[in-house]
A = this chain, B = another copy of it.
Amino acid sequence: VINVSIIGLGLIGGSLGLALRESPINVVVSGWDRDPGAIVGALTSGAIERPAITLAEAVAEADVVVVATPVMVVQSILPAIAPYLKAGAVVTDVASTKAQLMAWAEEALPSNVSLIGGHPMAGSEQHGIYHARANLFHNAVYCLTPHEQATPEALALLEKLVVAIGARPLLMPAATHDAYVAAVSHLPFLLSIALTQLTATDDQWSIMSMVAATGYRDLTRLASGDPVMHRDICLTNAEAIRPWLHNMADFLSRLAEQLDDPEALQALFDSAKQHRNEWLRNRDNRDGLAPLPPIAVEHALDVTNGPEC
């Protein structure tokens, strides 16, 4: 039996617990949250079977510890659990940015545990244990950013759990992860927020808002996400996000000068449509395939040490 301890029982932590307990793997899932209501919710829904009153109790027996709190909270959780971790335990997390977290963890954790950052590419603008569901990770890519001192056995164990919840492990260095999500995850939510803010603070908004339809609804969806999570993502990944915002600003300024140019517009719109449809096709084709191959995992050795992390 594998003892898994989930610290932080929100949407992701709760869904992990549900998915693990529904999987064919023999696990015992314990859980802790600073909010006792979340612990009760997780017990009631079956996301965990063993509630823990203290962090020490939560991790003492754990083979795998998943810190599933907001990223800024992970920073304080790590030193608090460090003294109680079992030798050889796997410590992972689910935060949206990885390099900063790997640096914090390296400093806080003893060297006899295996640190492997984690980021399931699944979520929702909803949050909290009551939105947790076992199929949240189904077919989602699950990024893993192993520290150089993580053992191969630890990595194999974590990959096994990731596959068991229906997700697809993708190994990469923490800095690489952060550069990618800046483009495909953080830039999108910032665009969503910017669109909402720009339009909704316009002095014509009260009437303009009635004309807004499904396109507006979808493009602004991410603005309904958790402001604290979005803030912390920006704070821990500012260097990677900033150039994408500037690139986007330049792109839009150039586009503004092409609005009378039928050929340029058509070429751009054709190209974007083709790219988007190709991405969708590849995404659909992933369903039911084998786990994704490791990506440049050898570089993982460097990424937690440099000043850029």
A residues contacting B by CB (< 8 A) are 121-123, 140-141, 143, 170, 172, 177, 179-181, 183-185, 187-202, 204, 207-225, 227-228, 230-231, 234-235, 238, 241-242, 244-253, 255-256, 259-260, 262, 265-266, 268-273, 275-280, 282-283, 286, 292, 295
Q: Are A213 and B252 in contact (CB under 8 A)?
A: no
- Across the interface, which residues of B come within 8 angstroms of A189, CB to CB? 215
With A172-B207, A185-B215 already in contact, 20 other A-B pairs whose C-beta atoms are closer than 8 Å? A143-B211, A170-B210, A180-B204, A183-B208, A188-B215, A190-B255, A191-B191, A194-B272, A197-B272, A198-B248, A217-B280, A218-B218, A218-B219, A223-B275, A224-B276, A238-B259, A245-B252, A245-B256, A245-B259, A248-B249
Q: Are B194 and A212 in contact (CB under 8 A)?
A: no
Copies of this chain, count: 2
Q: Are B207 and A184 in contact (CB under 8 A)?
A: no
Q: Are A212 and B184 in contact (CB under 8 A)?
A: yes
Q: How far is the CA of A195 from the CA of B209 in the complex (A)?
A: 23
Q: Are B123 and A214 in contact (CB under 8 A)?
A: yes
In the complex, how many angstroms separate the beta carbon of A210 from the nearest chain B beta carbon? Answer: 5
Q: Are A195 and B248 in contact (CB under 8 A)?
A: yes
Indicate whether A179 sits within 8 Å of B204 (C-beta atoms), given known contacts A213-B185, A223-B272. yes
Q: Are B199 and A184 in contact (CB under 8 A)?
A: yes
Q: How far is the CA of A21 from the CA of B241 in the complex (A)?
A: 52
- Across the interface, which residues of B come within 8 angstroms of A184, CB to CB? 199, 208-209, 211-213, 215-216
CB-defined A-B contacts under 8 Å, sample of 25: A121-B213, A122-B214, A141-B210, A143-B211, A170-B210, A180-B204, A183-B199, A184-B199, A184-B215, A188-B218, A188-B219, A188-B220, A191-B219, A200-B272, A218-B218, A218-B221, A219-B219, A223-B273, A224-B280, A225-B273, A231-B265, A234-B265, A238-B260, A245-B252, A249-B249
Indicate whether A272 sits within 8 Å of B193 (C-beta atoms), given known contacts A235-B259, A266-B228. yes
A224 interface neighbour in B188, B224, B273, Cβ under 8 Å: B273
In the complex, the chain B residue whose C-beta lies closest to that of A253 is B249
In the complex, the chain B residue whose C-beta lies closest to that of A250 is B249
